[in-house]
Amino acid sequence: MKRTDRRQASIGLLRDYMAGRIDRRQLLKSAAAAGVLLPVLSIMRGASPAFAQDASPAAGGEAGSTIVVPADLRTDLAGATIAWMGTSSQDADLPFNEAAIAKFTEATGINVNLINGESETNLRLQAMRQQFAAQSSDIDVYQIDIIWPGVVAEHAVPLQDQLGAATDAMFPGIVEANTVDGDLIGIPWYTDAGLLFYRTDLLEKYGVEAPTTWSELEAAAQTIMEGEQAENPDFTGYVWQGKAYEGLTCNGLEWLVSQGGGTIIDVDRNVTVNNETAIAAMDRAATWVNGISPEGVTTYTEPETFNVWTAGNAAFARNWPYMYSASQESEATAGKVGVSPLPKGDGAEDTSAATLGGWQMFVSKYSENQEAAIEFVRFMTSPEYQTSYAIERAHLPTIPAVYDDPAVAAASEFIPQLKPVFEAAVGRPSAQTGDLYPEISTVFYQQLNQVLSGSKSAADAAASMESDMNAIFEDE
């Protein structure tokens, strides 16, 4: 087929799909049969701007073009207006979620104002707490981090009666994490787990295998970095989140668990972090700073990691799954990115560990439009929305069945492949610490950040962590 014919065939299929004449499965089957699976997928992902420009908006290519609105949404609330403190204006997911809102409004008549949410999770919690303290009805729907149900439960509209049935199809552990004193206070929207990203082209160029242990990662990062720096002085080996904030707790937990150093606090709320293996794991990470990682990594959150990575300036990165779709949108990394579980320690017993993250939809009890807010949450957590969020933005569904959708595999193979890794993700100690969790985590990441920047030994930091965490429990 000529290029123009292929384009026509792809657009025709996407039109049929958008108009509901064929479903997603039929779309991918027909696209494969016509030899146009790749262009169709890249349009669906918005990954091929040149091609997408040729397609009319209705034919796809625009962010959110694969979103299908569930048929059973209420239409009797038309005219209501709600506000969602949601996607940050800096976020690469913004166009997708704006498109999702537009489709929701078209189907239900409910208007949704997207209020810019902070991209850093700690700051987002702070902003929510201010709203709650004022019992403000300005925001109807929030997105809440998986570590917050115990912190924000008292401000929630319990959702079990209206949305409980939809959670039967979701991962039970995540639903459980959103249940506080028998009330379902958040509906799982997407889940998260820490992953290793690597540059497939550079592994090949330097003849190194994708690392499975931290030692292998250190060696591979060093080799590639030394080679690339000859041409590109900005090139670094490994980027991750080292700033003193919640993301460092996630990274630190992975270092500890993957080398046998425990989970900071055990299930019975004993502080376990002051042990030799955990101390060695923290010391090890400190050697990366100004070595295989840039000195500035101690100030990195996810967006800084993302920027270095998508500019093509790192061999390896630790981030959440969303970075996969973003990598396909940057010329420096498109088609050159592999994804695997994070490395583990060298011990025979050591296993890779991914911190469990993820976000839920939450309705504020101060909302004056609770019915419309609940309808929006129904849409945003539906299998239809979650399927598209996985296809276009590589966000992990909270519904196990969505992992088996062939379109998800076609867009991001790692999602079904790593499902067991995601299911085994390690929770931060938020369940056993409840509303004390933010304070506990603050102690951990502040002390750990000092170790990384060389101002404190890991042994001293671990001792401080232990005494400060115990003091928090004693003050309760």
Region 44-83 residues binding ligand GLC, contact defined as CB under 6 A:
none
Measured from the CB atom, the residue of 250 and 256 that comes closer to ligand GLC is 250
Tokens of 439: 């304070």
Q: Which of 334, 390, 451 is CA-nearest to residue 192?
A: 390
The tally of CA atoms less than 13 A away on the side-chain side of residue 280 is: 12
> To the nearest whole angstrom, how small is the minimum distance from the Cβ of residue 320 to ligand GLC?
5
Beta-carbon contacts of residue 139 (< 8 Å; ≥ 6 apart) = 83, 84, 85, 115, 131, 364, 367
Region 135-164 residues binding ligand GLC, contact defined as CB under 6 A:
145-147
Beta-carbon contacts of residue 72 (< 8 Å; ≥ 6 apart) = none
> To the nearest whole angstrom, how small is the minimum distance from the Cβ of residue 63 to ligand GLC?
20
> Considering Cα of 42, then 46, then 52, then 56, what sign does the dihedral take?
positive
Measured from the CB atom, the residue of 446 and 457 that comes closer to ligand GLC is 446
> To the nearest whole angstrom, how small is the minimum distance from the Cβ of residue 355 to ligand GLC?
8
Beta-carbon contacts of residue 265 (< 8 Å; ≥ 6 apart) = 271, 272, 273, 429, 432, 433, 440, 469
Dihedral, 376, 377, 383, 385 alpha carbons, nearest 10: 50
- Main-chain phi, psi angles of 211, to 5 degrees: -70, 145
Tokens of 378: 């129904």
* Beta carbons of 110 and 80 less than 8 angstroms apart: yes
Q: What is the DSSP string of 208-261?
A: -PPPSBHHHHHHHHHHHHHHHHTT-TT-EEEE---SSSHHHHHHHHHHHHHTT-
Measured from the CB atom, the residue of 144 and 180 that comes closer to ligand GLC is 144
Q: Which of 337, 313, 325 is CA-nearest to residue 197?
A: 337
Query: From the list 65, 87, 97, 121, which residue makes contact with ligand GLC (rule: CB under 6 A)?
Result: 121
> To the nearest whole angstrom, how small is the minimum distance from the Cβ of residue 252 to ligand GLC?
11
Measured from the CB atom, the residue of 286 and 425 that comes closer to ligand GLC is 425
Give the contact letters, 344-363, x = binds to ligand GLC (CB under 6 A), - = no: -------------xxx----
Q: Nearest-CB residue to ligand GLC?
A: 357
Region 305-324 residues binding ligand GLC, contact defined as CB under 6 A:
320
* Beta carbons of 18 and 58 less than 8 angstroms apart: yes
CA pair distance 159, 223, nearest whole angstrom: 52
Measured from the CB atom, the residue of 223 and 249 that comes closer to ligand GLC is 249
Query: From the list 192, 218, 254, 350, which residue makes contact with ligand GLC (rule: CB under 6 A)?
Result: 192
Give the contact letters, 213-252, x = binds to ligand GLC (CB under 6 A), - = no: ---------------------------------xx--x--
Q: What is the DSSP string of 328-392?
A: HTSTTTTT-EEEEPPPB-SSTT-----BEEEEEEEEBTT-S-HHHHHHHHHHHTSHHHHHHHHHH
> To the nearest whole angstrom, how small is the minimum distance from the Cβ of residue 10 to ligand GLC?
34
Region 383-412 residues binding ligand GLC, contact defined as CB under 6 A:
none
Q: Does 466 bind ligand GLC (CB under 6 A)?
A: no
Give the contact letters, 249-268, x = binds to ligand GLC (CB under 6 A), - = no: -x------------------
Tokens of 170: 């979701």
> To the nearest whole angstrom, how small is the minimum distance from the Cβ of residue 422 to ligand GLC?
12
> To the nearest whole angstrom, how small is the minimum distance from the Cβ of residue 427 to ligand GLC?
10
Measured from the CB atom, the residue of 287 and 307 that comes closer to ligand GLC is 307
> Considering Cα of 22, then 396, then 114, then 310, what sign does the dihedral take?
negative
Size of residue set near ligand GLC by CB under 6 A: 13
* Residue 442 CB coordination number (10 Å): 17
Measured from the CB atom, the residue of 147 and 239 that comes closer to ligand GLC is 147
Measured from the CB atom, the residue of 17 and 197 that comes closer to ligand GLC is 197
Measured from the CB atom, the residue of 46 and 252 that comes closer to ligand GLC is 252
Question: Which ranges of 370-457 does DSSP label H, i.e. alpha helix?
Answer: 370-380, 383-393, 406-411, 414-417, 419-423, 437-452
CA pair distance 312, 262, nearest whole angstrom: 34
Measured from the CB atom, the residue of 218 and 302 that comes closer to ligand GLC is 302
Based on the number of CB atoms within 10 Å of its own CB, is 79 exposed (0-12), middle (13-18) or buried (19 or more)?
exposed
Measured from the CB atom, the residue of 91 and 218 that comes closer to ligand GLC is 91
> To the nearest whole angstrom, how small is the minimum distance from the Cβ of residue 46 to ligand GLC?
22
Measured from the CB atom, the residue of 123 and 280 that comes closer to ligand GLC is 123
> To the nearest whole angstrom, how small is the minimum distance from the Cβ of residue 367 to ligand GLC?
24
Chain contacts with ligand GLC (rule: CB under 6 A) = 121, 145-147, 192, 246-247, 250, 302, 320, 357-359
